[in-house]
Amino acid sequence: MINKSLKQLGAALAAKEISSVELTTLFLDRIERLNPEINAFISVDRERSLTQARAADARLAAGQGGPLTGIPIAQKDIFCTTGWRTTCGSKMLADFVSPYDATVIARLHDGAGMVSLGKTNMDEFAMGSSNETSFFGPVKNPWDRQRVPGGSSGGSASAIAARLAPAATGTDTGGSIRQPAAFCNLTGLKPTYGVVSRYGMIAFASSLDQGGPMAASAEDCALLLNAMCGFDERDSTSLDRPVEDYARDLEKPLAGLRIGLPKEFFNDGCDPAVMAAVQTAIDQYRKLGATLVDISLPNSHLSVPAYYVIAPAEASANLSRFDGIRYGYRAPDYDSLDDLYMKTRAQGFGAEVKRRILIGAYVLSHGYYDAYYLQAQRIRRLIAEDFASAFKACDIIIGPTSPTTAFKLGERTTDLVKMYLSDIYTIAVNLAGLPGMSIPCGFADGLPVGLQLIGNYFAEARLLNAAHRYQAATGWHEQRPADIDLNG
């Protein structure tokens, strides 16, 4: 059961081959046995999960279940979840228990009937590309436990790769779903900005953050996206548009699909072994009937500097609410209100979060706003216009997800520029608000390689179709880590 797809698990539950309680217990037992070594989960509540599973079984017995009812899922610890600790990977929220559900959680649990297994580890406040900034310690990559799983959704990625969960939620501000998916041989999708509600998702950078699904395959992600999406009046950025079936085109042939190859993605900045796997994947798409088109994204090299002005600026505003007054960590000793603020934030935030708050406050300050923040927003517009121009010549864009495979734990913690460049191929997608996904496309020196697919606005179904047809022809997504117990 631990290696079955969501569609297969749904069929098994519907046919009463297994109950949700039995399936949930299977994954909870694996978490208990394997999580101490991998550190993918921050919080697990066996009885709460089994209570949800019993409710799902009753729903199925009454004939009221859907395709995901009774299937367990891991939740990134950035989504507020009633009765669960919601820490965002930070000391600041280490003991915070949410009194309400994020919209994503409510739709998966109450709407689709899925069972939450627990809350997954993550970079603190989603700020990181390696899952090493978490207050609860780094997450290890099941493919090589000396390496990172990627970030910030590294706990979700590691949990799926180790088969501690069949699927998980993630969030993506600059690549935080796609890069961990690439490092852990998974499929991860960042939808168009505004398609998935951000209500109850603890904010990092509000104009960039977007929730999305992580699973083994494109078919699984399509089922999850169907349950996650929809207009939410509680989120001012939620888009009011018709509900889609994102699985509708999965089997559509790829003949005539125009694939854009940006010259900026195929250069010396990518590891040769990674690029070889990507080129092989491109050849496979040609065999499947797609047409390759050379394109250019001339301002893509500016995405990293623009992002590291805009994202910290928004973070400095969003994280000002953590002051020790209303909720979260409070410094035990202080002499005045100002002293309380300073000590609470100094003690409650980790180094990376402090660094980004300081940068953000600086670029928004008088005398620097025009020079930095306003200029970064202008670059953002140029990047969006590059994509708009490119999509006149192609239907989707393909390239590497990350310039390297998973790097070793501690390897980049003192080289911040190198760490930030881990997301050089993914950040532009967030700046433009486009949908993007990563799918497995091979291995380099025994480590997974991710292929990034980028679509025009609201082209999730087309991306999932291209990913699914590729996966049906290759099977890279079915590979499992050799040193993980896969026997239940």
119 is catalytic: no
Q: Which residue among the candidates 43, 130, 158, 176 is catalytic per the annotation?
A: 176
Spell out where 56-101 has E strands: 72-76
Q: Which residue has the tokens 């207009």?
A: 231
DSSP H or E segment with residue 453: strand 447-455
Largest CA distance in the chain: 70
- Separation of alpha carbons 271 and 287, rounded Å: 25
Q: Which residue among the candidates 5, 76, 116, 217 is catalytic per the annotation?
A: 76
- Separation of alpha carbons 220 and 112, rounded Å: 14
DSSP 69: T
76 is catalytic: yes
DSSP H or E segment with residue 399: strand 396-400
152 is catalytic: yes
Residues 190 and 430: beta-carbon distance below 8 Å = yes
The string of DSSP letters for 163-205 reads TS-SEEEEE-SSSTTHHHHHHTT-EEEEPPTTSS--TTB--SS
Rg (CA), the chain: 21
Q: Which residue among the candidates 19, 152, 153, 402 is catalytic per the annotation?
A: 152
Q: Beta strands 72-76 and 115-120: pairing type?
A: parallel
Q: Which residue has the tokens 């500097």?
A: 305
Positions marked catalytic = 76, 152, 176
